């Protein structure tokens, strides 16, 4: 009996030792890092497109006829109340049909502008978000094939109506100082505009 007990104890000791050796030979467990949080990169970006009815105020003349303009841009919503965008506008030719200034009589004015804009959204009520804004950039004024680059600035106000979580229709007013244009005599005429816009803003997912 004593021999049997000693044999059993030896067998148990060998089994435990073997298991310990096998455990020591096993590679350490692999600890997997938790997955990185998913970030929605496009959630604050938006695209915009605008149609504009433009009225000119050209110093020293009665001014050209009202004109149509199209614009497009890309923007970013920095906070619930602050956003910014970059826009490019192209205005179709506008003729001076009635003027008492011979320097621009019969001329046609085109104007394109690139603006960097910032807006403050003033809250939302019943899906309507009024806003104010300002922009700076550059304008290219072409008066009868005489082109000129200018510093330009603008002040805006308007309201957007949310058609869906991603799509808004925007009604706005903009006063823009587009710098100067060369008159036919070589003189400069200042170009400012008052504009009424309607456009769409689409928030990217």
Residue 2 forms part of a structural domain: no
**Residue 71 belongs to domain with CATH number:** 2.40.160.20
Alpha-carbon gap, residue 56 to 35, rounded angstroms: 58
Which domain covers residue 89, as residue numbers?
Answer: 45-203
Residue 3 forms part of a structural domain: no
What is the four-CA torsion angle of 20, 22, 28, 30, rounded to 10 degrees? -120
Tell me 166's DSSP state.
S
Tens place of pLDDT per residue across the chain (205 aa) = 555 455 555 555 555 555 554 555 555 566 665 665 544 455 799 999 999 999 988 765 567 889 999 999 999 999 999 999 999 999 998 887 656 666 666 778 899 999 999 999 999 999 999 999 999 999 999 988 889 999 999 999 999 999 999 999 999 999 999 999 887 777 788 899 999 999 999 999 8
Name the burial class of residue 47, with classes exposed (0-12), middle (13-18) and buried (19+) by CB atoms within 10 angstroms of its CB: middle
Residue 16 forms part of a structural domain: no
Name the burial class of residue 88, with classes exposed (0-12), middle (13-18) and buried (19+) by CB atoms within 10 angstroms of its CB: middle
Alpha-carbon gap, residue 85 to 79, rounded angstroms: 13
Residue 7 forms part of a structural domain: no
- Residue 142, SS3? strand
Closest by Cα among 37, 43, 52, 20 to 197: 52
How many structural domains comprise the chain?
Answer: 1
Residue 14 forms part of a structural domain: no
Closest by Cα among 184, 191, 104 to 141: 191
What is the reported pLDDT for 128?
96
Residue 9 forms part of a structural domain: no
What is the reported pLDDT for 138?
98
Q: What's the whole-model pTM score?
A: 0.75
Residue 157 forms part of a structural domain: yes
H helix or E strand, kind and range, residue 4? helix 2-25
How many secondary structure helices (H) and strands (E) does the chain include?
Answer: 1, 8
Residue 70 forms part of a structural domain: yes
Alpha-carbon gap, residue 145 to 95, rounded angstroms: 13
Give the rounded distance of the alpha carbon of 188 from its chain centre.
33
């Amino acid at each position: 009996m004593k021999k049997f007990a000693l044999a059993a104890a030896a067998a148990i000791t060998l089994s435990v030792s073997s298991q310990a050796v096998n455990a020591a030979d096993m590679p350490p467990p692999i600890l997997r890092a938790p997955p990185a949080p998913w970030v929605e990169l496009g959630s604050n970006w938006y695209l915009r497109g605008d149609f504009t009815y433009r009225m000119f105020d050209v110093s020293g003349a009665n001014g050209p006829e009202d004109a149509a303009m199209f614009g497009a841009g890309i923007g970013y919503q920095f906070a619930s109340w602050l956003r910014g965008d970059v826009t490019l506008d192209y205005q179709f030719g506008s003729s001076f049909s009635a003027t008492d200034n011979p320097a621009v009589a019969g001329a046609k004015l085109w104007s394109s502008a690139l603006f960097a804009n910032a807006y403050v959204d003033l809250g939302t009520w019943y899906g309507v978000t009024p806003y104010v804004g300002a922009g700076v950039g550059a304008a290219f004024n072409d008066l009868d094939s005489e082109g000129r680059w200018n510093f330009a600035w603008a002040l805006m106000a308007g309201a957007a109506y949310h058609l869906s979580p991603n799509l808004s229709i925007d009604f706005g007013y903009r006063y823009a100082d587009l710098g100067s244009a060369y008159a036919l005599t070589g003189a400069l005429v200042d170009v400012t505009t008052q504009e009424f816009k309607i456009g769409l803003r689409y928030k990217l997912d």
